Chains A and B, each alone.
Chain A
Amino acid sequence: MVHAADYLRDIKPVLKARCYACHGALKQKAGLRVDTAANIRKGAKSDSIVIPGDPERSELLIRVTSGDEHERMPPEGAPLKAHEIAAIREWITAGLPLPENEKAEIDPKEHWAFQVPKKVTLPENSANPIDVILDRRRAALNLKTQPEANRTILLRRLYLNLIGLPPTMEQLADKRPWEEIVDELLKNPQHGERWARHWMDIWRYTDWYGLGKQLRNSQKHIWHWRDWIVESLNSDKGYDRMIQEMLAADELAPEDPEALRATGFLARNYYLFNRTTWLDSTIEHTAKAFFGLTINCAKCHDHKYDPITQEDYYRFRAIFEPHQVRLDPLPGVMDFEKNGLPRVFDDHLDIKTYLHLRGDPKNPDKTRVLDPGVPAVLATFAPEIKPVQLPIYAYAPAVRDYVQADHLSAAKASVDASKKDLVEAQKKAANALKEKPEVQTKPIKSATKFNVTDDFSKHNTELWEVIGKGWQFKDGAARQTISTRGAERLVLRPKLPRDFELTCRYTHTGGNVYRSVTFRFDVSSDLKYANYVYTSAHAPGPKLHVAYTRDGTSTYPPEGRVAQPIQIGKPYTIRLAVRDRLVNVWLNDKFQIAYSLPDRGPSGQLLLSGFDATVAFDDIYVRSLPTDVKLVESKNNVPELKSVSSVEVSQSKLAVTQSRLAALQAIFDAEKKRGNETAFNAASHSAAKREAEALKVEGEYELKAFAKDGKKVSAAQRKIANAEKKITALNESNGSYTPLRVTKKALESPAHKEDQYPAVYPDISTGRRSALAQWVTSHKNPLTARVAVNHVWLRHFGEPLVETVDDFGLRAKNPLHRELLDHLAVEFMESGWSFQYLHRLIVNSRAYRLGSSSKDVDLSTLSADPDNHYYWRMNTRRMESQVVRDSLLHLAGMLDSSMGGPSVDPGDSVRRRSLYFKHSRDQQDNLLKKFNDADHLQCYRRTESIVPQQALALYNSKLSVEMAGLIASRFEEGNFIQKVFQFVLGRSPDEDEMKACRQTLSELESVARGVQKTKADERARRGLVHALLNHNDFISIR
Chain B
Amino acid sequence: MNVNRRMFLGNAGLGFGSLALSAILRGGESGVNGLPHFAPKAKSVIWLFMRGGVSHMESFDPKPMLNKLAGKSIGETRFKYVQDRDRLKKVRVVVVNDANGQQRNKLYPLQVGYKRYGQSGIGVSDWFPHIGGCIDDIAVVRSMWTTDDNHGAQVQFHSGRHMLDPRVPTIGAWVNWGLGTLNENLPQFIGMGPRYFDRSDGHYLGPAYDEVKLKIDPKNPLDYAQPPADKISEEEQKLGFGLVNRLNQMSLEQYPGDSRLEARIKAYELAYRMQTSVPNVVNFDKESEATKKLYGFNQKETRTFGQQLLSARRFVEQGVRFIQIMHGSGAAGAWDQHSNLKAKHSELAMQVDRPIAGLLKDLKSRGLLDETLVVFATEFGRTPGSQGSNGRDHHPYGFSVWLAGGGIRGGVTHGTTDEIGFHTEENPHYVTDVHATLLHQLGLEAERMEVPGHKRLEADFGHIIKDIIV
User: If A946-B263, A1007-B239 touch, does A876 touch B4 (CB 8 Å cutoff)?
Assistant: no
Pairwise interchain contact A956-B224, C-beta atoms closer than 8 A: yes
Interface size on B, residues (CB 8 A): 71
A952 touches B271 (CB 8 A): yes
Residues on A with C-beta less than 8 A from B246 are: 996
Binds B, one of A173-181, A596-604, A997-1005: A997-1005
Minimum Cβ distance to chain A for residue B25 (Å): 11
9-residue interface stretch from B10-18, B42-50, B371-379: B10-18
- Report whether A854 and B247 are in contact in the complex, using a CB–CB cutoff of 8 Å: no
A855 within 8 A of B: yes
Interface assignment of A667: CB less than 8 Å from any CB of chain B: no
Q: Answer whether residue A930 sits at the interface, using C-beta atoms and an 8 A cutoff.
A: yes
- Check A948–B274 contact: CB distance below 8 A: yes
- A1000 to B250 CA separation, bound complex (whole angstroms): 15
* A426, CB-defined interface residue at 8 Å: no
User: In chain B, what residue has the closest Cβ to A957?
Assistant: B224
| CB within 8 Å for A961 and B228 given contacts A867-B2, A878-B260, A953-B223 | yes
Q: If A273-B96, A932-B207, A955-B271 touch, does A1004 touch B10 (CB 8 Å cutoff)? A: no
B453 at the interface (CB under 8 A from A): yes
Interface string of B222-265 (1 = CB under 8 A from A): 11111110011101110111111011101101111110110111
Is A565 among interface residues, defined by CB-CB distance under 8 A? no
Give CA–CA (A945, B187) in the complex, Å. Answer: 14
Which B residue sits closest to A924, measured CB to CB? B199
* B254 close to A853 (CB less than 8 A): yes
Bitwise interface map of B from 148 to 172 toward A, beta carbon under 8 Å scored 1, else 0: 0000000000000000100100000
- Tell me if A211 counts as interface (CB < 8 A to partner B): yes
Residue A115 CB within 8 A of the other chain: no
Task: Decide: A953 and B224 in contact? CB cutoff 8 A.
Answer: yes
Contact B237 A955 (CB under 8 A): yes
How far does the Cβ of A1005 sit from chain B's closest Cβ, in whole Å?
Answer: 10
Q: When the two chains form the complex, which single residue of A751, A947, A1000 contacts B239, counting CB atoms closer than 8 Å? A: A1000
> Could you tell me if A949 and B271 are in contact, using CB atoms closer than 8 angstroms?
yes
Is B192 located at the chain interface by the 8 A CB criterion? no
Q: Fill in one digit per residue for B305-343: 1 if any A CB lies within 8 Å of its CB, else 0.
A: 000000000000000000000000001000000000000
Closest to B246 in A: A996
Contact residues of A between 736 and 758, Cβ < 8 Å to B: 749-751
- The verdict on A646 contacting chain B, using a C-beta distance below 8 Å, is no
Query: Is A992 among interface residues, defined by CB-CB distance under 8 A?
Result: yes
Inter-chain contact B9/A1027, CB cutoff 8 Å: no
A866 at the interface (CB under 8 A from B): yes
Q: Quick one: which of B419-444 are within 8 Å of A by CB?
A: none
CA distance A878 to B203 in the complex (A): 20
> B95 interface residue, CB < 8 Å from A?
yes
A 990-1026 contacts with B by CB, 8 A: 990, 992-993, 996-997, 1000, 1003-1004, 1007-1008, 1011, 1023-1024, 1026
A929→B258 CA distance, assembly (Å) = 24
CB distance from A53 to the nearest CB of B (A): 34
- Specify which of A750, A866, A876, A992 is in contact with B1 (CB 8 Å cutoff): A866
Q: How far is the CB of B336 from chain A (nearest CB, A)?
A: 14
A948 touches B458 (CB 8 A): no
Which of A273, A854, A935, A1007 lies in contact with B235, CB distance below 8 A? A1007
State whether A947 and B267 are in contact (beta carbons under 8 Å apart), knowing that A750-B97, A799-B4 are contacts in the complex. yes
**Which residues of the partner chain B approach A876 to less than 8 Å between Cβ atoms?**
255, 258, 260
Q: Mark A174-202, 1 if CB is under 8 A from B, else 0.
A: 00000000000000000000000000000
Q: Which residue of A is nearest B331, CB measured?
A: A211
**Which size bracket describes the interface of A in this complex?**
35 or more
Find out whether the CB atom of B227 lies under 8 angstroms from the CB atom of A1030.
Answer: no
Check if B207 sits within 8 Å of A1007, measured CB to CB. no
- Nearest B residue to A1035, CB-CB: B264
List of B residues within 8 angstroms of A123 by Cβ: none
Asked if A854 contacts B231 (CB within 8 A), the reply is no
Residue of B nearest to A273 (CB): B95
Instruction: Give Cα distance in the complex from A277 to B165, angstroms.
Output: 9
Residues of B within 8 A of A935 (CB): 200, 203
* A324 adjacent to chain B (CB < 8 Å): no
Measured in the bound complex, the distance between the Cα atoms of B191 and A379 in whole Å is: 50
Is the Cβ of A943 less than 8 Å from the Cβ of B240? no
CB distance from B200 to the nearest CB of A (A): 7
Q: Are the CB atoms of A1030 and B240 closer together than 8 Å?
A: yes
Chain B proximity of A684: nearest CB distance (Å) = 37
Is B208 among interface residues, defined by CB-CB distance under 8 A?
yes
CB–CB A945/B247 < 8 A: no
The answer on a CB contact under 8 Å between B207 and A1032 is: no
A950 CB-CB contact with B under 8 Å: yes
Contact of B271 among A276, A951, A1003, A1036 (CB under 8 A): A951
Docked Cα-Cα span, A961 to B233, in Å, equals 12
Which residue, B223, B241, B265, has most C-beta atoms of chain A within 10 A?
B223
- Fill in one digit per residue for A395-432: 1 if any B CB lies within 8 Å of its CB, else 0: 00000000000000000000000000000000000000
Smallest CB gap from A941: residue in B: B6
Complex Cα–Cα for A932 and B13 (A): 13
With the chains together, A930 CA to B272 CA distance in Å? 16
Assess whether A926 is interfacial by the CB under 8 Å rule: yes
Question: Chain B contacts of A760 at CB under 8 A?
Answer: none
Using CB atoms, name the residue of chain B closest to A1031: B247
Contacts of A861 in B (CB 8 A): none
- B70 CB–A CB distance under 8 Å: no
User: Of the candidates B200, B223, B256, which one forms a contact with A949 in the assembled complex, judged by CB atoms under 8 Å apart?
Assistant: B223
Q: State A996–B248 Cα separation when bound (angstroms).
A: 11
A1031 to B268, CA, bound (A): 10
Which of A277, A944, A961 contacts B231 (CB under 8 A)? A961
Any chain A CB within 8 A of the CB of B112? no
Docked Cα-Cα span, A1002 to B12, in Å, equals 37
Say yes or no: B3 contacts A751, CB within 8 Å: no
| Complex-state Cα separation, A1003 to B238, whole angstroms | 11
| Complex-state Cα separation, A889 to B244, whole angstroms | 21
| Residues on the B chain within 8 Å of A947, using CB | 10, 13-14, 207-208, 267
In the complex, A67 has a CB within 8 A of chain B? no
Q: A211-B331, A1003-B239, A1023-B232 are in contact. Are A1031 and B244 (CB under 8 A)?
A: yes
Contact B199 A1032 (CB under 8 A): no
Q: Chain B nearest CB: distance from A96 CB in Å? A: 29
B268 touches A854 (CB 8 A): no
| A272-283 to B contact mask, C-beta < 8 Å, 1/0 | 011011001000
Choice from A921, A926, A946, A1030 contacting B223 with Cβ under 8 Å: A926
Q: Does A722 contact B (CB under 8 A)?
A: no
Q: Which of B164, B254, B261 has the most CB of A within 10 A?
A: B254
Determine whether the beta carbon of A274 is less than 8 Å from that of B94: yes
Q: Is the CB of B257 within 8 A of A946?
A: no
Does A277 lie within 8 Å of B94, measured CB to CB?
Answer: yes
The interface residues of chain A lying within 8 Å CB-to-CB of B239 are 1000, 1003-1004, 1007, 1023, 1027
The answer, among A78, A867, A945, A993, for a CB contact under 8 Å with B10, is A945
Report whether A951 and B268 are in contact in the complex, using a CB–CB cutoff of 8 Å.
Answer: yes
A-B contact pairs, 5 of them (CB 8 A): A273-B95, A921-B199, A946-B260, A956-B228, A1007-B239
User: What is the interface of chain A, defined by CB distance below 8 A to chain B?
Assistant: 77-78, 211, 273-274, 276-277, 280, 749-751, 799, 804, 852-855, 866-868, 875-876, 878, 921, 924, 926, 929-930, 932, 935, 937, 943-953, 955-958, 961, 990, 992-993, 996-997, 1000, 1003-1004, 1007-1008, 1011, 1023-1024, 1026-1028, 1030-1033, 1036
Binding site for A on B (CB under 8 A): 1-4, 6-7, 9-11, 13-14, 93-97, 164, 167, 187, 199-200, 203, 206-208, 212, 222-228, 231-233, 235-237, 239-244, 246-248, 250-251, 253-258, 260-261, 263-265, 267-268, 270-272, 274-275, 331, 453, 458
Closest 6 CB pairs of A and B: A951-B271, A948-B271, A945-B10, A945-B208, A952-B224, A956-B224
Given contacts A935-B200, A956-B226, 19 further A-B contacts (CB under 8 A): A280-B164, A854-B255, A932-B207, A945-B10, A947-B207, A948-B271, A949-B187, A952-B225, A955-B224, A956-B224, A956-B227, A957-B228, A996-B243, A996-B247, A1008-B236, A1023-B232, A1027-B244, A1030-B240, A1033-B251
